[in-house]
């Protein structure tokens, strides 16, 4: 349900009655009849003009869902060990081995081997990698052998990071992020508008029980329409979920959503890393506990003690041990089990006594913080193979819906050539004054909150108005038009 034809027609060009308000007082007409012309026009324009953004985002997102197994196969040498067996050596010795092989930069975090046969990751901040990237060193936890190093983006390795960047911004940086935000801002609008139109069409044709079923024996264009609508209904819940979760980390709408979550206390809680005891050395005491100064190189043995504290506190892998951000600050250790069941408990560890100074359990997170985390994980396919299959099916379904929408649009072109015309004008005037006013207010608020919904909508209105003026002048210039 991305582009739409007049939903009550066959293969013939659109009749004026299909999109123009019917005669009679507006109040005497049902709400469905009043709103349908406007929904039809919006769905048409959004489908035609936003469709390319949605199509690209869908293709790149579907490719991204295929990556986890490929990523793990390509980097099997770095991610796994040849002969797992015996007890792992202390984590500090693993970190020391990584630093001996890679003394450059500074340690950002360490992820102990989350399962038998897997490697430990030591993440370094270095200058010779792209911005926002790190160098990750992989260590055999049983022998201390360095298995390799890779440039990483967060926890993603090169192949997955490349596809993540492709889906997020087409490798165009901050400018490219606008394309995915446009798609996410309009996906839910197009999907919900299409659903309303499809239900109305099925009701008018007395086939309401066939919302989920296409008409296989219908004429060509109606058959395409029925597949367009039926498949759209099957995938609509997934589309709305993808739209909402995509917006949550978008560039502009994401900032507004973040502020709203803060106001409603829906943010993800974190532990306080302020140390509870004073530093023992004179230099640190001179600067003061928690002073914003870069800490010295961490003694690898400290990782062993922090890791043991986390295990005693009940944290389980995979977990991420983050070094103190400043002299005197505490360590933070967080579970990072994104699958199901999820584990996100976290603790802060004093840098001198190695005691737990703060703790936040996932069970105590606000409900909406949990929902946001789960929605993002599902969007990224992190709940395992079934999650990936669902995303791939959603992607294929949306691609077919978009393509069928364009096919219907093309089949409506005039028989003498040219592009198909949009549904008739005057759709806003078909509403009651109170309805029109309420709509304008809601759209204005949405346009402010979701800038890449509001900006294209304003352009639609401007282009439509200009095109309307041009069309009227052409009609008035035709012979006999004044008679």
Query: What is the per-residue pLDDT across 176-201, written as a single tens digit (0 to 9) for each?
Result: 999 999 999 999 999 999 999 999 99
Query: What is the per-residue pLDDT across 223-278, written as a single tens digit (0 to 9) for each?
Result: 999 999 999 999 999 999 999 999 998 999 999 999 999 998 889 999 998 865 55
Is the pLDDT at 6 greater than 90? The verdict is no
CB-based contacts of 234: which residues, under 8 Å, 6+ apart?
Answer: 212, 397
Q: Average pLDDT of 271-295?
A: 50
Q: Average pLDDT of 446-462?
A: 90
Q: Average pLDDT of 320-334?
A: 93
Is the pLDDT at 294 greater than 60? The verdict is no
Is the pLDDT at 292 greater than 90? The verdict is no
CB-based contacts of 320: which residues, under 8 Å, 6+ apart?
Answer: 109, 110, 111, 333, 334, 336
Q: What is the DSSP letter of 340?
A: S
Question: Cα separation of 134 and 149, whole Å?
Answer: 10
Stated pTM of the model: 0.83
Angle of the 173-204 helix axis to the 451-477 helix axis, nearest 10: 60
Q: Which residue has the higher pLDDT, 413 or 399?
A: 399
| Mean pLDDT taken over the chain | 85
The percentage of the chain sitting over the pLDDT mark of 90, rounded to a whole number, equals 63
* pLDDT value for 291: 36
Query: What is the per-residue pLDDT across 421-446, written as a single tens digit (0 to 9) for each?
Result: 555 555 677 788 898 899 899 999 99
pLDDT band at 369 (very low <50, low <70, confident <90, very high): very high
| Residue 308: C-alpha distances to residues 21, 287, 304 (Å) | 72, 29, 6
Neighbours of 117 (CB within 10 A): 14
Q: Which residue has the higher pLDDT, 5 or 193?
A: 193
| SS3 sequence of 233-282 | HHHHHHHHHHHHHHHHCCCCHHHHHHHHHHHCCCCCCCCCCECCCCCCCH
Query: What is the per-residue pLDDT across 32-86, written as a single tens digit (0 to 9) for each?
Result: 778 888 888 888 888 888 999 999 999 999 999 999 999 999 999 999 998 887 8
Which range (14-23, 192-201, 211-220, 466-475) has the least confidence?
14-23
Q: Average pLDDT of 376-398?
A: 95
Helix (H, G, I), strand (E, B) or coil at 346: strand
Q: Give the sign of the dihedral formed by CA 186, CA 191, CA 192, CA 196.
A: positive
Query: What is the per-residue pLDDT across 125-140, written as a single tens digit (0 to 9) for each?
Result: 999 999 889 999 999 9
| Residue 479: C-alpha distances to residues 126, 312, 416 (Å) | 74, 90, 19
CA 325 vs. chain centroid, Å, equals 29
Report the DSSP beta bridge partners of residue 138.
121, 148
Closest C-alpha among 35, 38, 6, 1 to residue 420: 6
458-462 CB contacts, 8 Å cutoff, 24+ apart: 460/45, 460/46, 460/49
């Amino acid at each position: 349900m991305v582009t739409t034809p007049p939903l009550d027609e066959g293969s013939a060009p659109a009749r004026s009655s299909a999109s123009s308000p019917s005669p009679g007082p507006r109040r005497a007409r049902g709400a469905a009849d009043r709103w349908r012309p406007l929904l039809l026009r919006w769905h048409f324009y959004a489908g035609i003009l936003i469709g390319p953004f949605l199509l690209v985002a869908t293709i790149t997102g579907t490719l991204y869902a295929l990556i986890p197994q490929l990523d793990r196969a390509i980097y099997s040498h770095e991610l796994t060990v040849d002969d797992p067996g015996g007890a792992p050596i202390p984590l500090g010795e693993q970190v020391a081995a990584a630093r001996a092989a890679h003394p450059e930069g500074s340690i950002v975090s360490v992820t102990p081997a989350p399962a038998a046969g897997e490697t430990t990751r030591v993440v370094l901040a270095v200058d010779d990698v792209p911005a926002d990237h790190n160098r990750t060193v992989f260590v055999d936890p049983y022998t201390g052998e360095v298995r390799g190093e890779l440039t990483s983006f967060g926890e993603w390795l090169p192949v997955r990071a490349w596809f993540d960047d492709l889906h997020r911004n087409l490798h165009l940086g901050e400018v490219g992020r606008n394309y995915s935000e446009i798609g996410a801002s309009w996906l839910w609008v197009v999907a919900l508008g299409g659903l309303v139109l499809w239900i109305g069409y099925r009701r008018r044709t007395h086939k309401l029980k066939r919302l989920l079923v296409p008409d296989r024996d219908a004429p060509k264009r109606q058959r395409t329409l029925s597949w367009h609508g039926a498949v759209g209904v099957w995938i609509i819940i997934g589309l709305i979920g993808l739209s909402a979760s995509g917006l949550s980390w978008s560039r502009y709408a994401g900032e507004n959503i973040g502020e709203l979550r803060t106001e409603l206390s829906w943010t993800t809680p974190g532990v306080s890393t302020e140390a509870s005891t004073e530093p023992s050395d004179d230099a640190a005491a001179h600067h003061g506990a928690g002073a914003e100064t870069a800490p010295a190189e961490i003694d690898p043995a400290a990782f062993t003690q922090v890791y043991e504290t986390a295990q005693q506190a009940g944290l389980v892998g995979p977990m991420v041990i983050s070094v103190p951000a400043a002299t005197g600050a505490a360590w933070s250790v967080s579970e990072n089990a994104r699958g199901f069941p999820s584990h996100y408990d976290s603790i802060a560890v004093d840098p001198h006594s190695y005691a737990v100074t703060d703790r936040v359990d996932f069970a105590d997170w606000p409900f909406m913080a949990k929902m946001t985390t789960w929605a993002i994980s599902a969007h990224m396919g992190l709940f395992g193979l079934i999650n990936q299959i669902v995303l791939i099916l959603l992607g294929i379904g949306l691609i077919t819906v978009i393509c069928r929408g364009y096919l219907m649009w093309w089949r409506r072109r005039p028989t003498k050539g040219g592009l198909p015309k949009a549904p008739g004008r005057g759709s806003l005037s078909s509403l009651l004054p109170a309805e029109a006013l309420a709509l304008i207010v809601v759209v204005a608020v949405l346009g402010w909150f979701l800038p890449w919904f509001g900006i294209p909508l304003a352009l639609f209105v401007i282009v439509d108005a200009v095109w309307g003026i041009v069309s009227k002048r052409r009609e008035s210039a035709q012979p006999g038009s004044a008679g």
